[in-house]
Amino acid sequence: MLDPRLFRSDLDFVQQQLKRRAFEFNAAYYSELEAKRKAIQVKTQDLQNERNSRSKSIGKAKANGEDIQPLLDQVQHLGDQLKAAETELGEIQSKMTELMEGIPNILDDSVPDGCDEESNVEISRWGEPAQFDFEAKDHVELGAKVGGMDFELGAKIASARFVVLQGPLARLQRALIQFMLDTHVSEHGYTETYVPFLVNAQSLRGTGQLPKFEQDLFKVGSEPPYYLIPTAEVPVTNIVRDEIVDAKNMPLKFVCHTPCFRSEAGAYGKDVKGMIRQHQFEKVELVQIVKPEESEAAHEELTGHAETILKKLKLPYRKVLLCAGDTGFSSAKTYDLEVWLPGQGVYREISSCSNFKDFQARRLQARWRNPETGKPELVHTLNGSGLAAGRTLIAVIENYQDEQGRIHVPEVLRPYLGGIDVIE
């Protein structure tokens, strides 16, 4: 959520910034609500002051033995007015909150303009895409050839966009997850964290998935409802909800492996083949909670940690800065890492690393105590995939294939597979 003071002090700036996202902000409606809020808040405060003053007069009259009934009648009348004013103020504030929760984050100045992914800016590339002397197969064909990747069985058990992995491929995915966790903990200084896979609405509201993206979530039938997590970002970032973090403990760095669940309501007809876009998938997530002045450097660092995994696996990739129209709702700035998939002949997203600045923290009321002022201030939050395990599995399968359809195991993963170097 954006700072309400920014709207009150410089509404033109807010409008200008939101236009970069092609977000239609109803400034007239906001101004109308804000005017009503101010007026009723002043009225409420005046009524409270008058009631307090009358109450003191009653006390004095009672002490002097005077008849206080006329004064009591006046206070009762004021009480009814005050209750009505407080109710009206609460309704206006609810409307203001609803409006503010639907407004995206203001973009960092370094984010390029543009409407969609065509305007994203490539920052760098690492590794050379493999040049095979045979026609490269995609992961679906390779999975069928070596066995253990069954989409029909996934559909039978659940529905389309589910898969069953068995044997060496299931073990390979587990090896990837373990390798990522070990690297981020031992080399990058993250604290491994285990969290619930079900969260309440307050947690999703804190990170920005609710109310705007409810259609993308799987809701569990209970009252109040729970939701299957779309990413570990939600439960892990909520660790600091309503907390004041000690400055000496910052930055907080968490790494967490979870399954993720997404309805993909807005992705009808996209990536229907294979494991690219599933309702259930595995991910190793990186989350950092930092001081505001450190978030820009932390963003580069976190992205570099995700890049390290790709380099160790020797998977060619490129780093892309997302443009205004392609940057997520809560993010101020996002880098995507896109891995080369020879079976498709394209780079595909495998990690998205974002700096949310204080946007999530304001919703979460996540703060740190500044030792210079002694006062609580909002933290900055960041997160990124380090990496998405399913897509990393796809990348390994396609980049390490040979002409016979076998899959050679990357050297760094062999210790996790008992020395197996080829899946066939």
Q: Are residues 83 and 202 in the same domain?
A: no
Q: Say if residue 68's pLDDT is above 80.
A: no
User: Does residue 15 belong to any structural domain of this protein?
Assistant: no
Q: Say if residue 78's pLDDT is above 90.
A: no
User: Does residue 301 belong to any structural domain of this protein?
Assistant: yes
pLDDT reported for residue 85: 94
Read off the pTM: 0.93
> Region 393-404: what's the mean pLDDT?
98
The domain that contains 251 carries what CATH number?
A: 3.30.930.10
Q: Are residues 128 and 264 in the same domain?
A: yes
> Region 394-402: what's the mean pLDDT?
98
**pLDDT above 70 covers what percent of the chain?**
98
Q: Are residues 69 and 150 in the same domain?
A: no
- Mean pLDDT over all residues of the chain? 94
Residue 413: Cβ within 10 Å count:
20
Q: Say if residue 184's pLDDT is above 80.
A: yes
Query: What dihedral angle (degrees, nearest 10) is formed by the CA atoms of 353, 358, 362, 364?
Result: 40
Q: Say if residue 76's pLDDT is above 90.
A: no
- Known binding site: residues? 231-233, 262-264, 285, 349-352, 383, 385
- Known binding site for L-serine: residues? 231-233, 262, 285, 383, 385
pLDDT bracket for residue 266 (50, 70, 90): low
The domain that contains 36 carries what CATH number?
A: 1.10.287.40
Q: Are residues 244 and 362 in the same domain?
A: yes
The number of domains in the chain is: 2
User: Does residue 2 belong to any structural domain of this protein?
Assistant: no
Q: Say if residue 112's pLDDT is above 90.
A: yes
Q: Which of 102, 126, 157 is the last residue of a domain?
A: 102
Q: What is the tens place of the pLDDT at every residue in 273-284?
A: 899 999 999 999
Cα–Cα–Cα angle for 317, 278, 361, nearest 5°? 75
Q: Which of 54, 73, 102 is the last residue of a domain?
A: 102
- Known binding site for ATP: residues? 262-264, 349-352
Q: Say if residue 313's pLDDT is above 90.
A: yes
Q: Are residues 48 and 143 in the same domain?
A: no
User: Does residue 21 belong to any structural domain of this protein?
Assistant: no
pLDDT bracket for residue 269 (50, 70, 90): low
User: Does residue 1 belong to any structural domain of this protein?
Assistant: no
Structural domain harbouring 155: 117-423
Q: Are residues 131 and 95 in the same domain?
A: no
